[in-house]
Amino acid sequence: MKDNIMEYETVELDDEDGSIVIIDQTLLPGKTELIRLKTAQEIWDAIYFLKVRGAPAIGVTAAFGIYLLAKQIKTDDYDNFYKEFKKQKDYLNSSRPTAVNLSWALERMEGICLANKDKRVGQIKEALKTEAVAIKEEDIWVCKSIGEYGLSLVKPGDGILTHCNAGQLATSKYGTATAPIYLGQEKGYHFRVFADETRPLLQGARLTAYELLASGVDVTLICDNMSAMVMKNGWVNAVFVGCDRVAANGDTANKIGTSLVAVAAKRYNIPFYVCAPTSTIDLNTETGSHIRIEERPAEEVTQMWYKERMAPEGVKVYNPAFDVTDHDLITAIVTEYGIAKAPFETSFQEIFRKKKKEKSKK
């Protein structure tokens, strides 16, 4: 057992064992249990049941997952290999619909199969491993870079509000929305952070408050319906949130309740920043209304986190896992290649141009 939750890897590959090792996030903060995922069903379940969650961490898990499943395919024939690969890829891709990082990572892995179709199946499997490891390594750099850009938007002593968990537990390191907080912490910025508890699955209370506290950050937990009050009190200088999919016009899907925070921030003139790896920006999705929003079981609202059921039997429940924040409520979108501002269409073009240029140098 390690002393601090921050010392654990969110998602790790144990290639020799043929497994992905994750922290079961449904048990945090009460219990730190590492679990091993080997089969397609185990990987699918871990993503669906939020044992591993957060857009970037889902992407890394999918990449390791499809590599391990590809390794189990017993054929030397490319066509047979690819057919089975596609089947497994589509299955993993069906685990959650909103976070684009899932399909983004799986597409990247499929691209490796296609680009190496003339090679032996064994060599393709090796190339898949290299790509999956690269996806995880890149995630660390991406989050750090988002943190550096994000830090340029705030000053020492600021109050920062965040929603859900876009922290280290949702990524490979630093988190996205928490990256400016962690980098600021290293520089002695002494931020005061407000973490929304984030109903119904409490990612803010169970995960964000936990990891910030474990890192020595000054964090105050509030219920979701308290954010307007702390804003009105003048305690919040900036809001930082993560995202699961950003449409081409800047509309952003993130954990349910995010858009309410954005509306309140606008009312109180507080900048609202979305931290978005470019892998989460989906230029193929025109606007937020085209983003598929995951709906989850009613039990998550009525009973899951209570000792006993807290809603009458038979009541109708609506439980969307995400909402879309309209782009005009967003002050800026912080990516690893710079800060995008409205009009986001043109700003994204600039960001992706920079990404292409930097990548071509490597």
Residues that bind ligand MRU (CB under 6 A): 50, 53-56, 99, 164, 166, 170-171, 175-176, 203, 242-244, 254-255, 321
Q: Output the residue with the shortest Cβ distance to ligand MRU.
A: 242
Q: How far is the CB of 198 from ligand MRU (least distance, A)?
A: 8
Residue 71: CB minimum distance to ligand MRU, A: 26
Give the sheet arrangement for strand 238-241, strand by strand.
Answer: 218-222, 192-196, 159-162, 238-241, 272-275, 332-335, 338-340
| Alpha-carbon 67 to chain mean position | 20
Nearer to ligand MRU, 71 or 144 (CB): 144
Do 134 and 176 contact (CB within 8 A), yes or no? no
Token pair, residue 273, equals 């920043």
Shortest Cβ 74–ligand MRU spacing (Å): 33
Q: Which is nearer to ligand MRU, 178 or 185 (CB)?
A: 178
124 or 147: whose CB is closer to ligand MRU?
147
Q: In the bound complex, what is the minimum distance in angstroms from residue 83's beta carbon to ligand MRU?
A: 30
**Quick check: is 326 catalytic?**
no
- As a whole number of Å, the CA-based R_g of the chain is 20
Beta strands 272-275 and 332-335, pairing class: parallel
Sign of CA dihedral 154, 160, 164, 165: positive
Q: Which residues contact 351 (CB under 8 A, 6 or more apart)?
A: 278, 281, 335, 337, 338, 340
Tokens of 142: 């991406």
CB of 255 to ligand MRU, least distance (A): 3
Catalytic residue (choose from 196, 244, 251, 323): 244
Cβ contact 290:247 at 8 Å: yes
Catalytic positions, written as ranges: 244
